[in-house]
Structure 1
C-alpha cells in the first residue's frame, strides 16, 4: 500500500461525513439562491444589492472549491462526484443573470460604439449604445478539444443567448475569442448577419465531436508529467486528473471511457498504416470500443496472412511477386 492510500485510510470517517455534508450544504445554498432570484425579483433590487449578491456567490464558490478539495483528499471516491459539475453549471448561469441585470442599470458607463478589445490573455467585451455589461472577460479558444465545452457553454450563455446583441455584434465577439486553428476555421467568413450562424455551425461541426474530445482528455492524462514528492506538484497532478475525469463523465459512461482508454492504448502500439485504416473505418461521432477494434484487427490479420501465404509460395516467380506486391498495396489502401 502506498503512502497516499495509507494517509487516506487514516482519515476519520466523521471528518469525511462532515466534508460531504458541508459541500452538499454549500451546493443547496447556491441552488436555493438561484431559484429565488428570478428576473422580476432582481429587477426590483438596486445595484448595490446586486453587487453584494454577486460577491456572495463568488465567496460561496471559493468555499465550495476549498471544501470539496479537502473532501477529495480525504475520500478518493469523491473524485468522481458530479456535484462540482452541477455547482459550476448553476454558478455560471447565476453570474450571467446578475451581470446582465447590473449592465441594464442606467447609471452604468458604456461606450458610444461597439469596441471589442483584447489582450494576449482574454478578450474584453465593452458594450455599445446602451447600458450593458460594463466589462466582461470571455475565455479564448485556440482549437484544443479539451477546452471546447467550457468555452462554448460560456459563450452561448453570455453572448449567444443575449437577444439585445445583433448577429454582427455576436460574430465580432466570437472572432475576438478565437485564435489559432479555431480562428482559421472561420477566418474566411465576412462580417455580416448571415455568417454568425454559419460560423457557429462550422465551429460545432469541427470541434463539438464527442469522440475527439474524449480521446483528447485521455491523451492529456497520459501526457501529464510525473509528480515529485512536493505537495504542490502532487496536488496539481490530482487536480488535473480530476478535471479530465469530470469532463469525461459528462461525455460518456465509465464503461465507455474504459473502452476508449483501452483503444487509445492499443492504437499507440500499432503501425501508422494500420492506425490510418482504423481511422478510415471509424465514425467521427461514434465512441470507439475494444470490440470494434478487435474485429478490425482480426480482419486485417487475416488479409495480411493471406498475402504472406501467396508471397511465400515457391511457385511464384519474379513477375508473380511483383504482381502480388501490387495486390498487397491495393489491399492496404482499400481495406476498411
Structure 2
C-alpha cells in the first residue's frame, strides 16, 4: 500500500512541477514584454489561462497534502511561494493592460484597429475538402489559419481535420486514430498526396487540353477554365509565358468552323500571333455574343407580329426552313444572315467571299447548277450584294 501511495505522490509532485513551470514561463514573458512591438491581446489570453493554471495548482497541491507526511509549515511555505508569484504576475498583467499606449505602439497597431469590423460579421464555417486537386491550396490555407495555428489542443485540431475531410481525402486518414502523433502524420499524408507537383500540373493541363469543341455557347466557360489553369501553372513556377505557339495551336484546333474562320480572317498578316492577341479576339467574340443575345431578348413582342402576306406564305416548317448550309459557320441559314459573317467589316467580308470563291451578288458557290439572283445592291443598284457595298470602292489599277 505504501508503494502505491508513493507512486501516486510522485506523479502528483511531477504534475505540480509542470504547473509551476507554466507560471514561470508566463512570468518570463511578462518581464520581457515590449509595449512598442508586442501585442497586448496576448496578455489578455495569458491572463485568462493563468486563472485556470492556479486552479489546477490548488487541486494538485491539495492531493499531495493528503498523501505526503510533511509538516503544515512546509505546506504553508509552498502555497505562499506560488501564490506570491501568481498575484505578482496577475498584477503585472493588469498594469500592462491598463497602461496608456505610446504613439509608436498605436502606429504599430493602427492596421489592427482599422481592420476591426464595424458590424458583427457572420461566423466563418470550416471549409471541407473532398479530394479535388484544384481545391487543395485554398483548403490548406484556410485550415492552417483557422485551426492549425490556433492555440487549441492538438487532439482537437485532429478532430477538426477529420470533420473537414470528405470522400477520397477522408479515406486517406480514416485508419489513423486521433492522437497528437497522428495529427502531424495525417497532414503529411495529405500534403504528399495533394501537393504532388506532377499530378497538379497534369490536372491543370488536362483542364484546357481535353476540353470539347469550342463554340459560341461554351466559349466564355472555356476562357475561364483556360485562365484558371494558366494562373495555377504560373503559381507552380511553370514557364507558361513561353508557350504561346503551343497553346495557340491547341486552342485553334478546338475552335468550331465559324470561330476558326473568323480568327483567320481577323489576322492582319502572316506573322506568328501571340496568345494575348488570340485571347483578346475570343473575349471580343464573347462580348459580341452577349450583346446579340441581350438585343434579341429585349426585342418587343409586337415586332414579330405577322402580316397578312407572311401568314399566307407560312405553310409548314419544311417550306420555311430551306435545306441550306452557311459557308462560314455551317449553320442552317444563308451567309447573309450569319451573325459571325455580319460581325466582319466589309473588307473582311469581301476577303472571305474571295477565299471561298462565292458569287458577289447571291453569295452562293459557283458550280454547274449556279443560277444568280436578278436582285442588285439596293444602295447603288450594282451587281453585288448589299452587305458588301462600299461607299468608296478602290479604283482598279
Normalising by structure 1, we get a TM-score of: 0.36
Larger radius of gyration: 2
After TM superposition, the score normalised by the length of structure 2 is 0.31
